[in-house]
Structure 1
Amino acid sequence: MSSTVLQGLRRVLLPVTLLLAVMVTLGMLVTRVFAGSWPFTLEPGVNSGLAAERTSGWNDVSLVFSTLASTQMIVVVTVLVALFLRLRLHRWREPLFLCAAVSAQALIFLLTTMAIDRRRPAVEQMDVSPPTSSFPSGHTSAAVALYLGIGLLLVLRARSTPAKVAWGSLLLLVPVGVALTRMYRGMHHPSDVVASFVNGGTCVLIMARAFLDRGIRWGRSMLSPGQAADADRGVVGQPAAS
């Protein structure tokens, strides 16, 4: 195994392991240490207030956002976007980055729910509860990793500041909408979705550093010299030409 691959693995495995430890620690603090302290004592009131404000219109809107972050949709969108990136850019950096970010958050989510046992909010739940803990929100974490990851790639390739702001804002709105939706539908506490932003957002940062960095040449041995030169242009802070 080459030194560049080993360096890349260190950039992935160590940070992801540390993030898992952080997520489990946060879960213990929220559910055990500070469960009876402010601001976590406010969460039941927030949950009840959101449930009391449900209307047929908002129910439909919340279903749309919740569907955007369902497991099936996340898998389909990730695969399709990764294939598009590979065919459009003719390099592996961006597809690997997106797939790795989504996969890492899913692994951390599953392991965290195995360590942290938290009940769903004590309100009527509009969805069937999956057999996982309420902490953290899997829908929110996946939405952050996928849509924020896509947004980062679009921002890096945009040539103008207004375009960067527009793409970044648009893709950030999706995970925010998903987070609000999961609370509205009675599936998660506010701290669950906040922790999910930590999980998904950090995974995007970790994988951006590992896969979009010029110093890490993932898959270079599989590329021709011309393709390898093209791959070097797809780096953080240096958008590749369209």
Structure 2
Amino acid sequence: MTASAAGPLPQHTRVRARTQIALRLLLGLAVIFAVEATIGWLVTGHLAHIWPLSAEDGVDRTLAQHRGHTLDNVSGFFSTLANTPSAIALSLVAFVAIRLLTHRWPEALFVATALLSEVGIFLLTTVVIERSRPAVPHLDPHAPPTSSFPSGHVAAAVALYAAVVLVLRRHRAPWPAWLLLAVPCAVGFARLYRGMHHPSDVLAGALLGALCVLLAYRVVLTGRDRR
């Protein structure tokens, strides 16, 4: 085979590989959206008055009755840590830091893909699922008028910190990277404590973030490792 005949092949191979990645990502996102939407329809419909969902209002009321100055401030910090501006800023920092420290693009793209996937599915889900926030005083009165289901704060926190943990573990971080997962847990409690979400909203947000990380890992990192 001549050099001229062999030349176009690598470019064609790269285009085909990128197309396959895009298709796998889109298919995965469609599945995740279907899962979240189905859970949302069940939570706001047939299962709303069945235990344990029937006990959700009691959880929100109990937390609201036990509020205090210290927890108000701590929960406010973690809630702000996962809002949209903070999530975008922290994701950009993580993207740049991972690129500079690893000298590789795949890990940085993995983190970006996980978070962008989460944001897209979150927005779509809030369009098709309408759920009011808990009937307790809200500590974040200026929250965006989106559906309570799922929790975008929790989804973003899980997507970001779980993705960073996986990158650190791949590069054998000298400290227990999994400790970062305490941040999404704190965010979840903060959203409940501040009266902004039902418990099932928080769980659905955590599931959304985790599924987006898994999808991004399989498509961006595992797929590249196999080639």
SS at match of 1:33: coil
Letter in 2 for 1:6: T
- For 2:166 and 2:113, locate their aligned partners in 1 and report how far apart those are by CA, in whole Å: 14
State the shift of 1:159 in Å.
Answer: 6.2
- For 1:159 and 1:151, locate their aligned partners in 2 and report how far apart those are by CA, in whole Å: 9
Question: CA-atom RMSD, angstroms?
Answer: 1.4
Residue aligning to 1:101: 114
- In the TM superposition, structure 1's runs of 4+ consecutive aligned residues that sit over 4 Å from their partners are none
Residue aligning to 2:199: 190
- For 2:221 and 2:127, locate their aligned partners in 1 and report how far apart those are by CA, in whole Å: 31
Residue aligning to 2:172: 158
- For 1:114 and 1:52, locate their aligned partners in 2 and report how far apart those are by CA, in whole Å: 31
Q: Which has the larger radius of gyration?
A: 2
Point out where structure 2 has 5 or more consecutive residues left out of the alignment: 1-11
SS at match of 2:108: helix
Q: 1:167 aligns with which of 177, 182, 193?
A: 177
How does the TM-score come out when normalised to structure 2? 0.90
1:101, 1:149 within 8 Å by CA — same for their partners in 2?
yes
Q: 1:203 aligns with which of 212, 215, 226?
A: 212
Number of residue pairs the alignment of both structures matches:
212
Residue aligning to 1:30: 43
Alignment of 1:1-242 (within 5 A): 2-127=15-140, 128-158=142-172, 163=175, 166-168=176-178, 170-213=179-222, 215-216=223-224, 235=225
Q: Choose 78-87 or 177-186, whichever is displaced more.
A: 78-87
How does the TM-score come out when normalised to structure 1? 0.84
SS at match of 1:212: helix
Letter in 2 for 1:190: P
Point out where structure 1 has 5 or more consecutive residues left out of the alignment: 217-234, 237-242
- For 1:206 and 1:183, locate their aligned partners in 2 and report how far apart those are by CA, in whole Å: 27
- For 1:89 and 1:156, locate their aligned partners in 2 and report how far apart those are by CA, in whole Å: 10
- For 1:88 and 1:38, locate their aligned partners in 2 and report how far apart those are by CA, in whole Å: 48
Letter in 2 for 1:152: L
